[in-house]
Each structure stands twice: as structure tokens, then as C-alpha cells.
Structure 1
Amino acid sequence: MFPILVDFFSHSVCVSTLWKLNSSILNNPQVKENLKSAIESYFKENDNGEVSPTIIWDAFKAVLRGKIIAHTALLKKMRRGKI
């Protein structure tokens, strides 16, 4: 029974990956405009004076990262669709 437990735990190791911004996507004017509007709407909706600026900033970084990842995934899907 013990080897099964060892085998179970050996497959549940978490692997963390680091995300790095692909700065070449910022050369696309459409991406820049989408990010600008996302930034403006984020701070308009969330900066209400009730939450500390540190929390707003940390949440903003996570939201922006998610939007960039979503957009790059869409571009990748479109590229693969052409192939």
C-alpha cells in the first residue's frame, strides 16, 4: 500500500511557471488601444477611495496580466487557424 501512496504524491507536485511580458504585442495599435481603455475603466470602477492604493495596484497588475494573456491567446488561435 505504501508504494501506491508514494506514486500518488509523486504526481501531485506543483510546477510553477513564470510569466514574462511579450513586449512585441505592444507594437500593435489595436492592442494598445484595448489596454488603454481597460486601464481607464479599471481605475474608474475600482478607485473609489475605500480600498488602499496598494491593493488596487496589485489587483490591477493581475487584471492587466490576464487581459494580455487572453489577447495573446486569441492572436495565437487566429495564427493557428490560418495554418
Structure 2
Amino acid sequence: MHTVTATELARQTRQILDTVARDGETVIIERNNMPVARLLPPEPMMTAAQALAGLPSTLTPQQAQAWLNESRADFDDRVRDPWA
């Protein structure tokens, strides 16, 4: 963990945030030699494409089509007015 003063954070915000984002390092912010806050990197995220990346290899074409049909069962192709 890296420690910076509140003054350093104010003067070097961009560089400190870049370090947190790039290195995934937690930064402790101190004021008057006392910790007052922590900057944490975000939790790892996965896009929908990444989450579904293995799906085509695990479903047969028939299963994939059945899943697609089922997912669209309650929808039709008409455009609806969301305010109506």
C-alpha cells in the first residue's frame, strides 16, 4: 500500500488515480499523519461478451436456437411507445 498526504493528492490527483488504475494498488490518504481515506481499485468487471464467450461451444445449434426462441417468447417485433 502506498501512502500520500492530502496535499499530494490535491496536487497530483491524475497521477495517483492512474497508479491505482494501472497497478491495482490501494493508496492511503493521510492528513496530519493520520489516515483519513483509502483509494481502492475497482472490482474486476466482466463484459457480457466475456461472460458468454464460452456459451457457443457448450450449446448445440439446436439448444442455442431454443434458448434464443425462449428468450424472445414474451416479445414481439413491433415498436412500442414506452409512454403509452
The interval holding the TM-score normalised by the smaller chain is 0.3 to 0.5
What TM-score results when the alignment is normalised by the length of structure 1? 0.32
TM-score (norm 2): 0.32
> Higher relative contact order by CA 8 Å / sep ≥ 6: 1 or 2?
1
| Structure having the higher Rg | 2
Report the structure, 1 or 2, having the larger strand content: 2
Which structure shows the higher helix fraction? Answer: 1
